[in-house]
Amino acid sequence: MSGSTGSPEPPATTEEEPKSRAGRNLPAAIAVGVLLAAIALASLYWRIELFVLVIVAAIVVGTDEMASAMRGKGIRLSKVPLLAGAIVMPVLGFFAGPPQVMMGFGLLFLFTVVWRLLRNGVDDFVRDSTASGFVLSYAPLMGAFAALIAASPDGADRVVTFIVLSVASDIGGYAAGVLFGKHPMAPHISPKKSWEGFAGSVTLQVVLGAILFATILGSDWWKGALVGALMTVSATLGDFIESAMKRDLGIKDMSNLLPGHGGLMDRLDSIIPNTVVAYTLFALTLGL
């Protein structure tokens, strides 16, 4: 009577999506990354004004993701002013210039604070206003710096250099981390970031920086190597900032918009802080 034991059948196995050691669906992540890069390149070299629309779309989506993520912790952002800033700030950066960007930022910050006070009163006013100011600085303002890079005389080439170096930080860090990573940089913030991975990021960015400056930007190779090394630091700090936000909010990803990546902000975590750093370094090494 062994056939009547009633033991449950083993569950049917399902084929799982291929994941990397970083916990991502690597083929999907690569496909999404290639698609985003293609959109950016097409807009840059066809009509660079369209790149401003790409920036605006990315910052609008990213701002909305951050607002939704913070809402889960009870933080009420001034969403309408922030979305307005996501549109206005890159446009000011490309068509007006740095002084107008800073004036716009100041007025938008005042708008976000007053909006929050009039809509929700004094309860948690400082917390919510501070969070709104952080998001305004982290997304719309950084989008303005990306637009300022694009507005340079050789803006398309500078943007390509900026994007390549930002992405190279992830690629070099991932490859070296998977192959050699043993010593975590900041285990309480981002456990998968290792010193070996950081060394891989520095190496790749220094090499690519030197090549890009000597070729498409027509400048000294050593300037590109220096810019690449410094942008590794800012890209890594951007990763840490994003990881700290998600840990504080108790989430794994900002959203599930992009297969293999999570949310758009999860993809832009190293690119966003690199905008102001790249703009500054380009101004110092190449001129405005």
CA 158/CA 274 separation, integer angstroms: 13
Q: What is the pLDDT of residue 28?
A: 59
Q: Which residues contact 218 (CB under 8 A, 6 or more apart)?
A: none
CA 67/CA 74 separation, integer angstroms: 10
Indicate whether 16 belongs to any domain.
no
Indicate whether 276 belongs to any domain.
yes
**Both 179 and 269 in a single domain?**
yes
Indicate whether 34 belongs to any domain.
no
Determine the residue type at 113.
V
Q: Which residues pair with 186 in a beta bridge?
A: 190
Residues 144-179: pLDDT tens digits? 999 999 999 899 999 999 989 988 888 888 888 788
Residues 164-221: pLDDT tens digits? 998 888 888 888 878 887 888 888 887 778 888 889 899 999 999 999 999 999 999 9
CA 150/CA 156 separation, integer angstroms: 6
**Both 112 and 232 in a single domain?**
no
Indicate whether 238 belongs to any domain.
yes
Examine the pLDDT at 110 and tell me if it is beyond 90: yes
Nearest partner of 63 among 80, 49, 75, judged by Cα: 80
Per-residue pLDDT band at 259 (split at 50, 70, 90): low
**Both 147 and 164 in a single domain?**
no
Q: Which helix (H) or strand (E) holds 202?
A: helix 195-214
Indicate whether 239 belongs to any domain.
yes
**Both 142 and 164 in a single domain?**
no
HSE (side-chain half, CA atoms, 13 Å) at 122: 0
Domain boundary among 133, 151, 169: 151
pTM of the model: 0.83
Determine the residue type at 172.
G
CA 80/CA 126 separation, integer angstroms: 18
Per-residue pLDDT band at 12 (split at 50, 70, 90): very low
**Both 92 and 215 in a single domain?**
no
Determine the residue type at 2.
S
* Structure-model confidence comparison of residues 258 and 182, the more confident one: 182
Domain boundary among 120, 151, 182: 151
Q: What is the pLDDT of residue 4?
A: 43
Residues 30-75: pLDDT tens digits? 666 677 677 777 777 788 888 999 899 999 999 999 888 898 889 9
**Both 111 and 163 in a single domain?**
no
Indicate whether 28 belongs to any domain.
no
Indicate whether 125 belongs to any domain.
yes
**Both 147 and 159 in a single domain?**
no
Indicate whether 250 belongs to any domain.
yes
Containing domain of residue 241, as a range?
155-288
**Both 286 and 183 in a single domain?**
yes
Distance of CA 259 to the CA centre of its chain: 16
**Both 163 and 128 in a single domain?**
no
Q: First vs last Cα of the chain: how many Å apart? A: 86
Helix (H, G, I), strand (E, B) or coil at 1: coil
Cα pseudo-dihedral 271, 277, 279, 284, rounded to 10: -150
Q: What is the pLDDT of residue 13?
A: 42
Examine the pLDDT at 133 and tell me if it is beyond 80: yes
CA 50/CA 169 separation, integer angstroms: 26
Q: Which residues contact 254 (CB under 8 A, 6 or more apart)?
A: 62, 65, 66, 69, 246, 262, 263, 264, 265, 266
CA 224/CA 285 separation, integer angstroms: 9
Q: What is the pLDDT of residue 149?
A: 95
**Both 92 and 125 in a single domain?**
yes
Q: Which helix (H) or strand (E) holds 194?
A: strand 190-194
Domain boundary among 151, 167, 185: 151
**Both 234 and 139 in a single domain?**
no
| 145, 275 Cβ separation under 8 angstroms | yes
**Both 135 and 217 in a single domain?**
no
H helix runs in 47-190, sequence order: 48-71, 79-95, 98-120, 125-138, 140-150, 155-180
Question: Structural domain tally of the chain?
Answer: 2
